[in-house]
Amino acid sequence: MTRQLHFGGFQIASQVTHSHAAWRHPGSDTAFTTPEYYHRIGRILERGKFDFVFFADLLAAPVRYGSDITEPLRRGTQATATLDPSIVAASIGAVTSKLGVAITKSATYFHPYELARIFASLDHLTRGRVAWNIVTSLTQGEAQNFGQDDHLDHEFRYERAEEFVRTALELWSSWDPDALVLDKTDGVFADPSRVRQVDHDGQFFRTRGPLNVPHSPQGRPVLIQAGSSNTGRDFAARWAEAIFEIDPTPEGRRAYYDDIKSRATNFGRNPDGVLIFPAFIPFIGETESIAREKQAFHNELADPISGLITLSVHTDHDFSGYDLDAPVEDVQVTGTQGLFDTARRVANRDNLTLRDIGKWYAQGVLLPQFVGTATQVADQIEESFTAGEADGFMVSAAQTPGTFNDFVDYVVPELQRRGLFRTEYTGDTLRDHLGLTQLASPNGVAHAVA
């Protein structure tokens, strides 16, 4: 059987995603505080047989650039206004039946018990369609919102996150699949012998357990990560079943793909069970010139300061005092190190100034743009897929929901004609869609899904 593509639709529960121009686009719906906004997106992606919709998230308003919220609010940059994605996920799950819902939750500012309970509940309410995007959070602003003066050190965050994930896995395993009996005649609600305390007492976390949510349809959510630093890549290769990646160059995507698969093998995992999803923004037209007009119109709406505001958030480094027309400096950042390394690599190659980087970042946070007719965009996807850059892709919108409508109506049928993408869902859970048949137990040993 021909190797099949996977697709996720990238979202933030806000007015923008990667594109900071999106909310200004005349074709964009800006009613992001309403359920209908997300229901519409979910139904479009399910019509296109997408594996999942993916929600990124930040836990603080963007205050890093110049230590002031004024410009981020005026310009409407990432995280100025964002709903809780776990609530949005439940809402989307209620109006779809197959589409997976992946949401971001921090392993730094929540407790494993709280997080395990949220995801087990969502997995029940969606009948097994939930994924957890594991993050360690980015910024000092997030730390301060949770009562801490400073954000934890990068390496320490990942060390702590290792125990967080293990603890959550223990909690999800505290109910056997058949523990819930519901025998009305004999008055037996659950079999106590099939529910266990966890009694986790580790370096960073303590929890007695058991979880008070019964075993969910998937056993636990699909685990997603976006490791880009060396430590982050190790963490992703150790735990993730799907990995979200940003790299604007084919050679960068190939190198990342090979590196992660190699690291997964070194951790004793089957690399085929670690699916890599680079992201892109599509611009689709009846002709190539129409598509390029759409791209140019969108890109012109992006302003450099908006991009630098979000770059400051992502790197936890204030770029407000730099000369915009100077080359990108070799600064040390504490946030998303791998993403800034990518920006610096391309800036050095193409002689880009900080203003150029800001403009590029506002256009789509370094994402490549696939432009052309449906056939040409499908060609670019197929080329990247067959060249060993990806197992699937994260599709990010230049306008909402128009980008998703165009992709589903025109590009998906072309990929289906080529035998590269499903014509119907063949399973019910997100784990089914992704072809993931193994779960990682808390001690790291794989076992079959119950």
First to last CA, the chain: 26
Say what angle helices 230-239 and 250-266 make with each other, to 10 degrees.
60
Annotated binding residues, written as ranges, equal 57, 104, 154, 158, 228-229
| Residue 396 neighbours by CB distance under 10 Å | 27
Where helices occur in 99-197 by DSSP H, the ranges are 112-125, 140-145, 154-172
Going by C-alpha positions, the residue among 233, 229, 231 that lies closest to residue 259 is 233
Going by C-alpha positions, the residue among 177, 162, 170 that lies closest to residue 448 is 177
- Measure the CA angle with vertex 52, ends 391 and 121; round to 5°: 130
Query: Is-contact 152 160, C-beta < 8 A?
Result: yes
Six token digits for residue 336: 């998303």
* Torsion sign (Cα): 363, 368, 369, 374: negative
Phi and psi of 195, rounded to 5°?
A: -130, 130
Six token digits for residue 332: 């040390």
Which amino acid type is present at position 296? A
- Give the rounded distance of the alpha carbon of 343 from its chain centre: 19
* E-assigned strand segments in 63-219: 100-106, 130-135, 180-183, 188-190, 200-201, 206-207
**How far apart (Å, rounded) are the C-alpha atoms in residues 137 and 56?**
11
DSSP state of 225: E
**How far apart (Å, rounded) are the C-alpha atoms in residues 13 and 31?**
11
| Residue 201 neighbours by CB distance under 10 Å | 9
Annotated binding residues for FMN, written as ranges, equal 57, 104, 154, 158, 228-229
**How far apart (Å, rounded) are the C-alpha atoms in residues 203 and 397?**
41
DSSP secondary structure of 336-357? -HHHHHHHHHHHHHHT-BHHHH
